[in-house]
Amino acid sequence: MKASTKRLLALFGSATLILVALIVYASYLQPEYANIQNLRGELKSRSDFYDAQSQAIDYVNNLYGKNQVDIQQIQNNLTLALPDQDNVASVVYQIQSISALNSISINSINLETLPIQRMKSGNSLVQSYGTLRTTLKMSGSYPSFKILLNFLENNIRIMDVRTLRVYQTDVTNKSIFDFELVVDTYYQVQ
C-alpha cells in the first residue's frame, strides 16, 4: 500500500472518528446540556425562593421581637399610669416633688379612699378601679401654681383636678396666694 493511500485512509479514519464524536455529542450530550441548564434554573429559582422566605421569616421574627418589647413597655407604662394598688406614698411623693419643683409650699394634705367603681362594659381592660382623693392646701405665686397644674396634667400617673379654689390671704404681699386643690388619682382593683 502506498504512503499516499495510507495517509488518505488515516485522514478518512480521523474524519470518521470526528464525525462519530460529533454524532455522539449531538445525540447524547447536547440534550443533557439542556437538562443541566433546566436543573440549574430550577436550583436557582429554589435558592431565590428559599432566600426570599428566609428574609420574610427573619423580618417577621424581628417584628415580633420588637413588638414584644413594645408591648412590655406599654404594659409597664400602663402600670405606672394606673397601678395595681393605691400607692399612697407614691402619690404624696409625686405631689410633694412637683410642688417643691415649682416653689409651692404644701400647708396640709388630706387623703381619702373612695369606694371601688365597677366597669359596666365587659370589654374594658380594667374591670374595676379605685380612687384616691387628695385634698391639698398650698401657698405660692400664681404663675408657679399654673406650672404645677401643668405638671399634674402631664404626670404619668392619671390625676384629675376636681376642684380648685384660689384665695389671697396676705394683703401686704399680693403675689402670694393660697390654693385649695382636690385631686383624684386612680388605681386598678384586681
**DSSP secondary structure of 87-120:** -HHHHHHHHHHHHHHTT-EEEEEEEEEEEEEEPS
19 and 73 fall within a common domain = yes
Q: What is the domain extent for residue 36?
A: 1-81
Q: Tell whether the torsion through CA atoms of 14, 20, 26 and 31 is positive or negative.
A: negative
Contact 114, 131 (CB under 8 A): yes
Which one of 81, 102, 132 terminates a domain? 81
Per-residue confidence band for 34, with pLDDT thresholds at 50, 70 and 90: confident
102 and 174 fall within a common domain = yes
Tally the domains of the chain: 2
19 and 54 fall within a common domain = yes
145 and 182 fall within a common domain = yes
184 and 92 fall within a common domain = yes
Lowest mean pLDDT among 27-31, 48-52, 130-134: 27-31
What is the structure's pLDDT at 184? 93
74 and 112 fall within a common domain = no
Per-residue confidence band for 69, with pLDDT thresholds at 50, 70 and 90: low
Give CA–CA dist 112/163, Å, rounded: 15
Give CA–CA dist 154/177, Å, rounded: 23
What is the structure's pLDDT at 182? 95
74 and 118 fall within a common domain = no
Which one of 42, 57, 81 terminates a domain? 81
What is the structure's pLDDT at 123? 61
128 and 92 fall within a common domain = yes
What is the structure's pLDDT at 98? 92
Give CA–CA dist 179/135, Å, rounded: 10
102 and 63 fall within a common domain = no
Query: Within 13 A of 147's CA, how many CA atoms are on the CB side?
Result: 13
Query: Within 13 A of 132's CA, how many CA atoms are on the CB side?
Result: 23
Give the domain CATH number at 104: 3.30.70.60
What is the structure's pLDDT at 166? 92
Residues listed for the chain:
190
Within the chain, strands assigned E span: 105-118, 128-141, 159-167, 176-188
What is the structure's pLDDT at 138? 95
55 and 114 fall within a common domain = no
- At residue 49, does pLDDT exceed 80? yes
More confident residue, 56 or 127: 56
What is the structure's pLDDT at 121? 67
List the grid coordinates of 53.
422566605
Which one of 81, 109, 126 terminates a domain? 81
157 and 95 fall within a common domain = yes
